[in-house]
Amino acid sequence: MPFTLAIWFSLTNQRLISPLATRFVGLDNYTEQLTNDLFWTSLWNNLRFAGFVVPVQTGFALALAVMVNQNIRGRVAFRTIFFTPVTVVIAAAATIWVLLFNINGLVNGLLELVTFGNFAPDWLNSTAWAMTAIIVVSIWQGVGFQMVILLAALQDVPVERYEAAAIDGAGTWQQFRHVTLPGIRNALIFVLTVTTILAMRLFDQPTLMPRSPGGPLDSTRTVMVHMFEIGFGRQAIGRGSAVAVIFFVIVLVLTVIQRLFLREEIAT
């Protein structure tokens, strides 16, 4: 029901509080958004974020899962530690990392030590580095979740398959490539899809971390930050709904493409 309403509102000039009567405006809200530079900047920032976070975070999660799946002492303790940041809500995680990424903060202290003072950007006030800071927080907070899902899948791969592969003379890497990866295929697709959707929904970090939401100079403005500003900040329900519908279509298309692509990729 609210979604139908979103489509309907997106075709009108509905406002939250307005003395003027609501009027049907057809596709005006859509053409306005699609010709609006700010909208494209926001979408580009989302894609930039997703393009990095989705492969890196998934790869990182898989590496963690493989490591804590080894037959070693203390693996449960390590698994628990890697998962702990998941229980730290994003608002808290973002706040701690704002302090860590301060120009005189701990991250720069470490970097100066390693680079002999040659590299110490003002992370969150820099158009070049603010997004990197957001990426670090997102991975720190989220990777444990993916790790646990992949770990469960790893433990479901029958051990006989590894034995058979070993008898055929497969090395560690070949076993990983031909036994592990196909064995956890579904979980991997699930993780990729969920991470992509979450990356498109990015809102909390760019709102809380830079001095102004989406800043500096819109370098971390995402589609959700954009929608929030229009639909809530300016109370333009019609235009905000148009952004919401466009956002939904993008998520849907990305999900479908990913499913089709991965299905073929693994079939070959």
Residues 145-164 binding another protein (CB under 8 A) are 145, 148-149, 151-159, 162-163
- Shortest CB 150 distance to another protein, Å: 8
Please state the closest distance from residue 113 (CB atom) to another protein, in A: 9
**Residue 227 interacting with another protein (CB under 8 A):** yes
Nearer to another protein, 48 or 201 (CB): 201
Does the footprint of another protein cover residue 88 (CB under 8 A)? yes
Give yes or no for residue 67 binding another protein (CB under 8 A). yes
Residue 90 engages another protein in binding (rule: CB under 8 A): yes
Cβ closer to another protein: 56 or 166?
A: 166
CA distance 41 to 47: 10
Q: What single DSSP character describes residue 184?
A: T
Binding another protein by CB under 8 A: which of 36, 203, 216, 262? 203
Of 223, 261, 236, the C-alpha closest to 29 is: 236
CB of residue 239 to another protein, shortest distance in Å: 9
- Radius of gyration from C-alpha coordinates of the chain: 22
* Number of neighbours of residue 107 by Cβ within 10 angstroms: 18
By CB under 8 A, tell whether 247 contacts another protein.
Answer: yes
| Distances in whole angstroms, Cα of residue 216 to Cα of each of 29, 124, 211, 213, 221 | 27, 7, 7, 8, 9
> Tokens representing 41?
């900047």
Give the count of alpha carbons within 13 A of 194, CB side only: 15
- Applying CB under 8 A, which of residues 34, 44, 51, 106 lies at the interface with another protein? 106
Give dist(CA 92, CA 141) in Å, integer. Answer: 10
Nearest Cα to Cα of residue 97 among 214, 206, 224:
206
Interface with another protein includes 262 (CB under 8 A)? no
CB 179 within 8 A of CB 157: yes
- Binding of another protein by 9 (CB under 8 A): yes
- The Cα–Cα gap between 20 and 77 comes to 62
CB of 22 or CB of 127, closer to another protein? 22
- In terms of CB distance, is 47 or 67 closer to another protein? 67
Binding segment for another protein among 24-32, 46-54, 67-75, 260-268 (CB under 8 A)? 67-75
